[in-house]
Amino acid sequence: MTAVTATPARSENRAWRGIGVQIAPFLAILAAAMILPFVSNDYWALIGTRAAIYWVLVSGLNLIVGFAGHLAIGYVALLTLGAYTTSVLVAGNVMPPLDVFAALAIAGVVGAVFGVVVGLPALRLRTFYFAMSTLGFATIVAQIALAWQSVTGGGIGIVGPEFPAPFNTAWGYYYLCITFAAVCTWLTANVAHSRFGRALIAIRDAEVAAEATGISKPRMLIAIFLFAGALAAIAGGLFASLQTYITPDAFTFDLSVLFFIAILIGGRGSILGPMLGTIILTILPEVAAPLAAWSTFFYAVLLLVIVLVMPGGIAALLDLRNRRPLASNRAIVPRPAALAECFRKTAGDKTLKLRGVTLSFGNVRAIDNLDLDVKPGEIHGLIGPNGSGKTTTLNVISGYYVAKGGTIGLGDRMLQPGVPTLRAHHGIARTFQTPRVIGEASVLQNVMIGGNIDGRASFVEALFALPRNRRDEQMLTEKARALLGVVGLEALADVRADRLQHSELRFIEIARALMLEPDFLLLDEPAAGLSGDEIERLAALIRAISRRGTGLLLVEHHADLIFDICDQVTVLNLGRILAAGTPAEIRVHKEVVSAYLGG
């Protein structure tokens, strides 16, 4: 790598420093938890145990709510399910009594299955309706626990499972639950810092861009529903033991709200924040006794305060790094020469072919019988007046819209219409007319998302931070940093993307698309909002990308840029081709001049 890329030793040092800063608060909380027994009484063992158990559930739920952005509000259902499954199996109400740890493991499996059942509606339902469906499930579980008397004891309840020595004392059990909580923290942090965690926040904040990079929402969500369901049910088993006796009344709606609000006050996309949120919400009603009776009111007020005063939650308060002011006179200075060193794959030799592509929206013919070829290494300009069908053409190529007629192919191979997540696998990347970046993620993370499909580790390997996952992370980090150097943004790598200027977001999108080492790159008005100097630098960058063999389809209103760098230009008007040819031909084309370029 050239100067734009950090040397391996430097980037390793930086990585270790970053890990140290991230781990320190968790170690401090763990140390405080370990010494609690030496400085307090059994009453605090109970509160500490409860906080640890709640966190076991919230840590998994956090991936659904805080990372993927799905409002799973009725998660008390899975706590109930886990509590009853463990208690019933240990009591031997349906089969010979089981060892409590075996029962807990079975509860985890049952929770994982039902986690997916509860979560499946999220694949189709929008946020509000999904929240309602999880609440519905909570009601169903509570009703079954009440009605199935022979197994659950109905309204009378059932004895919670008892753990063997040394976990049968208040502090023994406390340490057991702290261990569960610590392991859950480690597992969820591993997911959060892997390509899976980044994919989740990409789905949450920039779903269309996530699909364009090949991220499959159903697969991601099913993985976290399984995981979060298992953790919630295990938390249920631990909770039942802490309660010593459970009835359906023990699983109130307030508990669901507590879990949910702990994540909201903690902050989206954070682990430390929701953990502190869980601890605060567990402890506060205990230390301020009157609050216990007012818990619903208290939660509602807290929710209002968060929404109005600190929408980023505790995590945003603790994010000191992003409080530092950024230099206001920043210049984007790409280094296209370094591009060749970032690319490992050789460019494909197939032509992207559109034949007779037609698409209407109601009575509007957005594109009409469009033929277009983009050859490898070619810069193909697509221009035309507003509403002439340029963006629609990009959307059809990238699979967001299904053409009513015609075909799109790579060489002789037809591309399946309407499946945007497959385009990245075919080597087609894109940027958007309005940049689609994840504001709450760092610039580096935004770029890394572009290489998601190159990761080799499975979800389980990411969960346990196994070597293949570590290799993925190293590869993606190094490549993203190198590409940030290419587009001239390496100094902003660790800054939150929502702090950047519009022009910088355009270059982030290009770096993200380049992570794929695409055969074809679709650029939707990349020069919009850029200064004259920036447009010149963009032109040099686009030329460098094409020299590597990537074919570019460039939608742009800056005629000078188009005529300066394109090999071929197609002009659309009302969805039809008005003219096609070299820039020199198009510049003097009479109809183009009168319909678009003007006198």
Ligand X SMILES: Nc1ncnc2c1ncn2[C@@H]1O[C@H](COP(=O)(O)OP(=O)(O)OP(=O)(O)O)[C@@H](O)[C@H]1O
Q: Interface with ligand X by CB under 6 A: which range of 218-226, 253-261, 262-270, 381-389? A: 381-389
Q: Shortest approach of ligand X to residue 206 CB, angstroms?
A: 18
Among 5, 256, 391, 446, contact with ligand X (rule: CB under 6 A): 391
> Which residues, other chains included, contact 445 with Cβ-Cβ below 8 Å and sequence gap of 6+?
198, 201, 438
Range 398-457, binding ligand X (CB under 6 A): 433
User: Looking at residue 164, what DSSP letter applies?
Assistant: P
Nearer to ligand X, 387 or 409 (CB): 387
With CB under 6 A as the contact rule, which of the stretches 164-172, 384-392, 533-541, 591-599 interacts with ligand X? 384-392
Segment interacting with ligand X (CB under 6 A) among 165-173, 293-301, 359-367, 503-511: 359-367
Q: Using CB under 6 A as the criterion, what x/- string covers residues 91-130 for binding ligand X?
A: ----------------------------------------
Torsions phi, psi of 330, nearest 5? -75, 140
Among 133, 152, 392, 503, binds ligand X (CB under 6 A): 392
CA distance 331 to 487: 11
Rounded Cα distance between 192 and 188, Å, is: 6
DSSP secondary structure string for all residues of 122-155:
GGTS-HHHHHHHHHHHHHHHHHHHHH-HHHH-TT
Check binding of 481 to ligand X (CB under 6 A). no
Q: How many CB atoms lie within 10 A of CB 161?
A: 26
Cβ proximity to ligand X: between 133 and 388 the closer is 388
Contact between 291 and 298 under an 8 Å Cβ cutoff? The reply is yes
Which residue, 369 or 433, has its beta carbon nearer to ligand X?
A: 433
Q: Does 568 bind ligand X (CB under 6 A)?
A: no
Is 566:574 a contact under the CB 8 Å cutoff? no
Q: Which stretch binds ligand X (CB under 6 A): 138-146, 288-296, 387-395, 454-462?
A: 387-395
In the complex with ligand X, the residue whose CB is nearer, 247 or 433, is 433
As a whole number of angstroms, the distance between CA 413 and CA 558 comes to: 33
**Contacts of residue 24, Cβ cutoff 8 Å, sequence gap at least 6:** none
Selected binder of ligand X within 154, 172, 376, 387 (CB under 6 A): 387
- Kindly state whether residue 363 participates in binding ligand X, applying the rule CB under 6 A: no
Q: Does 133 bind ligand X (CB under 6 A)?
A: no
What are all long-range contacts of 556-560, with beta carbons under 8 Å and residues at least 24 apart?
556/381, 556/382, 556/383, 556/523, 556/525, 556/526, 556/527, 557/383, 557/525, 557/527, 557/528, 558/527, 559/383, 559/597
Stretch that binds ligand X, among 59-67, 163-171, 383-391, 479-487 (CB under 6 A): 383-391
Which listed residue (217, 390, 436, 537) binds ligand X by CB under 6 A? 390
What is each CA distance from 477 to 211, 256, 443, 504, in whole angstroms? 20, 37, 11, 19
Of positions 366, 424, 527, 595, contacts ligand X by CB under 6 A: 366
Residues binding ligand X (CB under 6 A): 361, 364, 366, 384, 386-392, 433
